[in-house]
Structure 1
Amino acid sequence: MKKKKILIRIGSLRHGGAEKVLITFLKNLPKNKYEVDLLLNLKSGKYLKEVPSWVTIYHLHKGEMITTNKPWEIPVKAYRRLYEELLKFFPIILYKFILKKRDYDIELIANHRLLEEVLKSPLKTSKKVVWVHNDLFSISDYTPARIKDFFKADKIWVISDKIKSGFEKLASTKDEKEKLIRIYNPIDSQEIVNKSEEDIDFTFTKVKDEKIFVAVGTVFPQKGFDRLIKMHKKLLQEGYKHKIYIVGDGYDFKNIQALIKSLKLDDTVKMVGYQENPYPFFKNADYFILSSRYEGYPTVLFEALTLKKPIIATDVSAVREILQDGKLGKIVENSEEGIYKGMKEFLTQPEIAQKYKQEMNEKELPFTLENAVSRLTTILDHL
């Protein structure tokens, strides 16, 4: 049987949800059926070493991601941007001199920001697939007119019913609606459990009756860590003892650190930074909290469910689907007040959190690695 040739594009393999999902997907693809090339804008990230050996990696740049504007970094950032723009306007250079292949059956972007790049591909016979991980309708610079451009692709993979519904409202024809495919992200639950048992170089400390909330994610404004910290301060002032561990790194890290310092919370909020293995933090916390302003499909909730941690989550895209309309976790208003009320409820009525934990233990989790990968490969086979 002839293998299908697939080009997959993503910015990098840093520590993010979309990157983790892509790696899990690649690790579970049958190599006897597909020939995969992976093109990275920046060859870096924690998941780079996990790319299967049979996948060929190409890149536009090497080095680390630059998230600041230090004077000596600006020329490198400018060069990278100009180089990417050059390849966007003259894609034949990319395909002829970097990829050196012109016969892909499928070109898939695993980052919605690369839409223009895949649509400008010089390969006219390949199927163009866009994998949308974010709720674009919650991002200010994605206007309806801009989102309509996604229908120029052959297929649009969306990871939640809410995102699919948003696209369907913009679809002008039946053909456009049929381009939409609702998929489940592949999550390896056994790997999560195994890694949660590993020893890490971190000491978990808490006094008697003190609860620990853990929040995990890239430190961007999207994740709402600023409002989580403000509500933490408010609860402390009301006498409710608890701590917060924030696991992750990102360009907003120093701003969040400054906020913690200004509110005099150094003893109760721990910014532990990027962790190769975040799962022991889930295991050693009492509760998991998602304070995001918007999301696509927060796979971190699945990780918390796998490790049986009572969840508080703002009402953003896919949360209701993952938490089964509140059966598996506390869904709160997407606001500071909503975060405050959810945390206060868990702190004052721990039996509610325990009830969610019992529900998790009794229910079979709705998403499995095998089903998700099987669904994705079936879709690829029919393109």
Structure 2
Amino acid sequence: MMKKKKILIRIGSLRHGGAEKALINFLKNIPSDKYEIDLLLNLYSGQYIKEVPAWINLRYLIKGDMITTNRIQDIPLKAFRVLYQKMLLLFPSILYKIILKGKQYDIEIGAIHGIYKEILSSPQKNSRKILWIQNDIFSLKEYTSDIIRKFFKFDKILVISNKLEEEMLKLASNEKERNSVVKIYNPIDKKDTLEKANAAIDDMPFKDSEFPLFVSVGTVYPQKGYDRLLHIHKKLWNEGFHHNLIIIGDGYDFENIYQLLDKLNIGESVKMLGYRSNPYPYVQQSDFYIMSSRHEGFPTIIAEALILEKPVCATDISGIKDLLQDGKMGIITQNSKEGIYDGMRQFITEKHLSEKYKAAIRNTELPFILEKSVQHLQEIIDHI
């Protein structure tokens, strides 16, 4: 009988993000007879916990809900969590002995860039180490070149877009470091996306409206650019380019964006629905997908919008040129208010564009389909 590879995978939580979804899609589609996997969460929280396959050993540092607000009553718990995690980072032997039961691993994987210190602090020096970069770290101020250079201590660095690959290769100082960088598309489950999109919903806004409908899905953080999206929506309306907009998602910036919606007096044409565990029917029943993000890694929701054959208008962020194939399958705008304005106005005024992009999507083989990505990731794990 073949000896199973023992693998430790670490991630912050299993909340509703692209990195978390990519990891779950991978775990659900790899063979249980080849690997023995421990999945270690910093926080036992998030919608994807229920989707972790039964054969995966699920471990955690802390159990409880994610704290997304800055309320005074939450500060002691937040402080405790930070200190506890720092203690385990400083004394990793405690973590490996008690929480991980002293198991020896062949491979240790950081499933998100923010967990790189935890993997590099592992007392198991003989394990092979992989970091999966799921965000545009080159757009994050705290990730200086000196910090990113530390990533080359990993045996393999998985990146999810051409832009990330190019930037990492620029920082590499020798052949070994260059060879450690591997581009891999996040696995997207087409069948699952299509099934979920056909689910019945009874709260679809603007059902009887004559105006075109844009939808955007994402955690409500400043990086998503919802503040500028609301200003652009108002400007377009004032100029007679009438349309409606749905924003789906929650996050610590939700109240600020909701207040801005109120202040701009656009509540009749914009609906913020908050978090939805299944946003796909809303995407399916809209005319266009709009992404106003300031930065991303690989925006999984764009891949899913393409599976649903939705015309996309997105800012020029990491991963977008790969996903929209340099503009063949959607509008790529400048990463600015003016750019987003121009893209949305094009969709509203140039009626033929919608069918043009839908035809392009239908006639293109999408590179991020589940089986291809899972197979690629398995090959990396098997041959490291």
Shorter-chain TM-score: what band?
over 0.9
Aligned to 1:289: 290
Match of 2:363 in 1: 362
SS at match of 1:245: strand
| Contact 2:14/2:47 (<8 A) preserved | yes
Give yes or no for contact 2:204–2:282 (8 Å, CA) kept in 1: no
Q: CA–CA distance in 1 between the matches of 2:205 and 2:238?
A: 23
Which residue is 2:76 aligned to? 75
The Cα RMSD (Å) is: 1.0
State the partner residue of 2:5: 4
C-alpha deviation, 1:267, in angstroms: 1.2
* Aligned-residue offset at 1:208: 4.6
> Are the equivalent residues in 1 in contact too, given 2:206–2:244 (CA < 8 A)?
no
Structure 1, unaligned stretches of length 5 or more?
Answer: none
Matched, 1:84 2:85: yes
Structure-to-structure mapping, 1:1-383, within 5 angstroms: 1-383=2-384
* Distance of 1:287 and 1:12 partners within structure 2: 31
Distance 1:360 1:142 in 2: 35
Aligned residue identity for 2:299: P
Q: Are the equivalent residues in 2 in contact too, given 1:196–1:279 (CA < 8 A)? A: yes
TM-score (norm 1): 0.98
Per-residue deviation, residues 285-343 of structure 1 (Å, max 9, x unmatched) = 00001111111111111100000100001011111111111000011101000000000
Does the 8 A contact of 2:5 with 2:35 survive in 1? yes
CA distance in structure 2 between the partners assigned to 1:302 and 1:208 by the alignment: 27
User: What percentage of aligned pairs have identical amino acids?
Assistant: 54
Which SS does the other structure have where 1:42 is aligned?
A: strand
Q: Give yes or no for contact 1:204–1:284 (8 Å, CA) kept in 2.
A: no
Residue pair 2:156, 2:182 contacting (<8 A) in 1 also = yes
Is the CA contact (8 Å cut-off) linking 1:302 and 1:322 kept in structure 2? yes
Q: Aligned to 1:47, what secondary structure does the other structure show?
A: helix
Whole-Å Cα distance in 2 between the matches of residues 340 and 259 of structure 1? 18
1:244 is paired with a residue whose SS is: strand
Aligned residue for 1:137, secondary structure, equals: helix
Aligned partner letter, 1:110: A
Instruction: Please state how far the C-alpha of 1:207 moved relative to its aligned partner.
Output: 4.5
Give the letter for the 1:16 counterpart: G
| 1:45-70 Cα deviation digits (max 9, x unpaired) | 00000000000111111110112222
> Aligned equivalents of 2:186 and 2:121: distance in 1?
27
- Would you say how many aligned residue pairs link Structure 1 and Structure 2? 383
Residue 365 (structure 1) shift: 2.0
Is contact 1:43–1:61 with CA below 8 Å preserved after alignment? Answer: yes
TM-score between both structures, scaled by the size of structure 2:
0.98
For the 8 Å contact 2:205–2:271, the answer to whether it is kept is: no
Deviation string for 1:13-45 (max 9, x for gaps)? 001000011100000010000000000011010
